[in-house]
Chain A
Amino acid sequence: MIIARFLGPRVWILVGLILAAAVLVPLANLALPPGHPLHMPSYLVPLFGKYVTYALLALALDLVWGYVGILSLGHGAFFALGGYAMGMYLMRQIGSRGVYGNPILPDFMVFLNWKALPWYWSGFDAFWFAALMVMLVPGLLAFVFGFFAFRSRVTGVYLSIITQAMTYALLLAFFRNDMGFGGNNGLTDFKDILGFPIQAAATRAGLFSASCIALAIGVLLVGWITRSKLGKLMIAVRDAESRTRFIGWRPEDVKLFAFTVSAVMAGIAGALYVPQVGIINPSEFAPVNSIEVVVWAAVGGRGTLIGPILGALLVNYGKTVFTAIAPDSWLFVLGGLFVFVTLVLPRGIVGTIDHGWDAWRARRRSAAKEKGESGDGDGSILPHPAE
Chain B
Amino acid sequence: MMRLVRQFLVFLLIALILPIGAYAQSSDPAALIQSFGGKQSFDDTEAVVKKLAAAGDPQVARALNALSKGDLVYRKSDNQVFIASGRGTVDLFDPLTGTKVGEAASRDFSKVRVKNSIRRAVTDALGSLTLRSPDPNTRMAAAGTLFSTATPEAMKTLDAAIAAETVPAIKTKLEEARAAAVLKSDEPAAAKVEAVKTLAGKGDRETLAMIRGVAATSKDAQLKQAATTAAVSIENTIATWTILQNVWYGLSLGSVLLLAAIGLAITFGVMGVINMAHGEMVMLGAYTTFVVQELIRTHAPGLFEVSLAIALPLAFLVSGAVGLVMERCLIRFLYGRPLETLLATFGVSLILQQAVRTIFGPSNREVGNPDFMSGAFDIGLMSVTWNRLWIIVFALVVFVALLALLNKTALGLQMRAVTQNRKMAAAMGIRTPWVDAMTFALGSGIAGIAGVALSQIDNVSPNLGQGYIIDSFMVVVFGGVGNLWGTLVGAMSLGVVNKFLEPYAGAVLGKIVVLVLIILFIQKRPRGLFAQKGRFVDA
Known contacts A154-B523, A334-B350, A343-B333; decide if A165 and B515 are in contact (CB<8 Å): yes
Of A83-91, A166-174, A361-369, the segment with at least 4 beta carbons within 8 Å of chain B is: A166-174
Q: How far is the CA of A148 from the CA of B342 in the complex (A)?
A: 23
Given contacts A165-B470, A169-B515, A346-B340, 17 further A-B contacts (CB under 8 A): A71-B342, A148-B519, A148-B520, A157-B274, A164-B470, A165-B515, A165-B518, A169-B511, A169-B512, A172-B511, A172-B512, A291-B343, A291-B346, A328-B358, A332-B351, A335-B354, A342-B334
Q: How far is the CA of A334 from the CA of B470 in the complex (A)?
A: 21
Smallest distance from the beta carbon of B182 to chain A beta carbons, Å? 48
11 contacts between A and B (CB under 8 A): A71-B342, A152-B522, A152-B526, A156-B339, A164-B470, A165-B470, A168-B515, A169-B511, A169-B515, A294-B343, A331-B350
Let me know if B344 and A342 touch, CB within 8 A.
yes
**Could you say which residues of chain B place their CB within 8 Å of the CB of A339?**
330, 344, 347-348, 351
Main secondary structure of the interface of A (DSSP, over half): helix
A161 contacts the other chain (Cβ, under 8 Å)? Answer: yes
B6 contacts the other chain (Cβ, under 8 Å)? Answer: no
Let me know if A149 and B523 touch, CB within 8 A.
yes
A341 contacts the other chain (Cβ, under 8 Å)? Answer: yes
Q: How far is the CA of A276 from the CA of B125 in the complex (A)?
A: 72
Let me know if A154 and B339 touch, CB within 8 A.
no
B473 contacts the other chain (Cβ, under 8 Å)? Answer: yes
Which interface residue of B350, B508, B511 has the most chain A CB atoms within 10 A? B350
The residue on A at minimum CB distance from B341 is A342
The residue on B at minimum CB distance from A340 is B347
Known contacts A153-B526, A161-B477, A162-B519; decide if A173 and B508 are in contact (CB<8 Å): yes
CB proximity to B under 8 Å, residues A156-214: 156-158, 160-162, 164-166, 168-169, 172-173, 175-176
**Could you say which residues of chain A place their CB within 8 Å of the CB of B509?**
173, 176
Q: How far is the CA of A152 from the CA of B519 in the complex (A)?
A: 11
Q: How far is the CA of A341 from the CA of B365 in the complex (A)?
A: 34
Let me know if B474 and A335 touch, CB within 8 A.
no
**Could you say which residues of chain A place their CB within 8 Å of the CB of B339?**
71, 156-157, 160
Q: How far is the CA of A341 from the CA of B347 in the complex (A)?
A: 10
User: Which of B333, B338, B351, B508 meets A175, CB within 8 Å?
Assistant: B508
Main secondary structure of the interface of B (DSSP, over half): helix
**Could you say which residues of chain B place their CB within 8 Å of the CB of A328?**
354, 357-358
CB proximity to B under 8 Å, residues A86-115: none
User: Which of B274, B351, B470, B526 meets A331, CB within 8 Å?
Assistant: B351
**Could you say which residues of chain A place their CB within 8 Å of the CB of B307?**
none
Let me know if B516 and A169 touch, CB within 8 A.
yes
Q: When A and B form their complex, which 7 residue pairs have the shortest distance between CB atoms, in order from nearest? A: A338-B347, A335-B350, A335-B351, A331-B354, A152-B523, A342-B344, A335-B347
**Residues of B in contact with A, size category:** 35 or more
Smallest distance from the beta carbon of B270 to chain A beta carbons, Å? 15
**Could you say which residues of chain A place their CB within 8 Å of the CB of B477?**
158, 161
The residue on A at minimum CB distance from B355 is A332
B349 contacts the other chain (Cβ, under 8 Å)? Answer: yes
B524 contacts the other chain (Cβ, under 8 Å)? Answer: yes
**Could you say which residues of chain A place their CB within 8 Å of the CB of B330?**
339, 343
The residue on A at minimum CB distance from B515 is A169
Smallest distance from the beta carbon of A286 to chain B beta carbons, Å? 9
Let me know if B338 and A157 touch, CB within 8 A.
yes
B353 contacts the other chain (Cβ, under 8 Å)? Answer: yes
Let me know if B347 and A158 touch, CB within 8 A.
no
User: Which of B333, B349, B518 meets A335, CB within 8 Å?
Assistant: B349
User: Which of A158, A160, A173 meets B512, CB within 8 Å?
Assistant: A173
Number of interface residues of A (CB under 8 A): 42
The residue on A at minimum CB distance from B349 is A335
**Could you say which residues of chain A place their CB within 8 Å of the CB of B333?**
343
Let me know if B470 and A338 touch, CB within 8 A.
no
Which interface residue of A156, A161, A287 has the most chain B CB atoms within 10 A? A161
Let me know if A338 and B344 touch, CB within 8 A.
yes
Q: How far is the CA of A187 from the CA of B188 in the complex (A)?
A: 67
**Could you say which residues of chain B place their CB within 8 Å of the CB of A47?**
none
Residues of A within 8 A of B (CB): 71, 148-149, 151-154, 156-158, 160-162, 164-166, 168-169, 172-173, 175-176, 242, 287-288, 291, 294-295, 298, 328, 331-332, 334-339, 341-343, 346
Let me know if B354 and A287 touch, CB within 8 A.
no
CB proximity to A under 8 Å, residues B1-30: none
Q: How far is the CA of A164 from the CA of B349 in the complex (A)?
A: 16
Known contacts A156-B339, A343-B330; decide if A176 and B348 are in contact (CB<8 Å): no
Let me know if B526 and A332 touch, CB within 8 A.
no
Let me know if A295 and B519 touch, CB within 8 A.
no
**Could you say which residues of chain B place their CB within 8 Å of the CB of A331?**
350-351, 353-354
**Could you say which residues of chain B place their CB within 8 Å of the CB of A162?**
518-519, 522
**Could you say which residues of chain B place their CB within 8 Å of the CB of A335?**
346-351, 354
The residue on B at minimum CB distance from A69 is B339
Let me know if B526 and A342 touch, CB within 8 A.
no
Q: How far is the CA of A48 from the CA of B398 in the complex (A)?
A: 52
The residue on B at minimum CB distance from A173 is B512
Q: How far is the CA of A161 from the CA of B354 in the complex (A)?
A: 23
**Could you say which residues of chain A place their CB within 8 Å of the CB of B353?**
331
Let me know if B508 and A176 touch, CB within 8 A.
yes
Let me know if B470 and A287 touch, CB within 8 A.
yes
Let me know if A338 and B346 touch, CB within 8 A.
yes
The residue on B at minimum CB distance from A147 is B523
The residue on B at minimum CB distance from A166 is B519
Smallest distance from the beta carbon of B366 to chain A beta carbons, Å? 23
Smallest distance from the beta carbon of A185 to chain B beta carbons, Å? 17
The residue on A at minimum CB distance from B512 is A169
The residue on A at minimum CB distance from B526 is A154
**Could you say which residues of chain A place their CB within 8 Å of the CB of B512?**
169, 172-173
| Chain B window 217-241, contacts with chain A (Cβ cutoff 8 Å), 1 for yes, 0 for no | 0000000000000000000000000
The residue on B at minimum CB distance from A161 is B473
Smallest distance from the beta carbon of B354 to chain A beta carbons, Å? 4
**Could you say which residues of chain B place their CB within 8 Å of the CB of A291?**
343, 346
Q: How far is the CA of A288 from the CA of B350 in the complex (A)?
A: 9
CB proximity to A under 8 Å, residues B105-125: none
Q: How far is the CA of A269 from the CA of B432 in the complex (A)?
A: 47
| Chain B window 318-347, contacts with chain A (Cβ cutoff 8 Å), 1 for yes, 0 for no | 000000000000100110001111111011
**Could you say which residues of chain A place their CB within 8 Å of the CB of B351?**
331-332, 335-336, 339
Smallest distance from the beta carbon of A156 to chain B beta carbons, Å? 6
Smallest distance from the beta carbon of B35 to chain A beta carbons, Å? 58
Q: How far is the CA of A168 from the CA of B357 in the complex (A)?
A: 23
Smallest distance from the beta carbon of B505 to chain A beta carbons, Å? 11
Q: How far is the CA of A176 from the CA of B519 in the complex (A)?
A: 21
Q: How far is the CA of A295 from the CA of B340 in the complex (A)?
A: 11
Let me know if B522 and A158 touch, CB within 8 A.
yes
**Could you say which residues of chain A place their CB within 8 Å of the CB of B354?**
328, 331-332, 335
Known contacts A338-B343, A339-B344; decide if A168 and B526 are in contact (CB<8 Å): no
Smallest distance from the beta carbon of B336 to chain A beta carbons, Å? 9
Let me know if B350 and A338 touch, CB within 8 A.
yes
Q: How far is the CA of A71 from the CA of B340 in the complex (A)?
A: 10
**Could you say which residues of chain B place their CB within 8 Å of the CB of A166?**
515, 519
Which interface residue of B342, B347, B355, B357 has the most chain A CB atoms within 10 A? B347
**Could you say which residues of chain B place their CB within 8 Å of the CB of A341?**
343
CB proximity to A under 8 Å, residues B299-321: none
**Could you say which residues of chain B place their CB within 8 Å of the CB of A343?**
330, 333-334, 344
Smallest distance from the beta carbon of B498 to chain A beta carbons, Å? 13
Known contacts A157-B274, A287-B470; decide if A148 and B347 are in contact (CB<8 Å): no
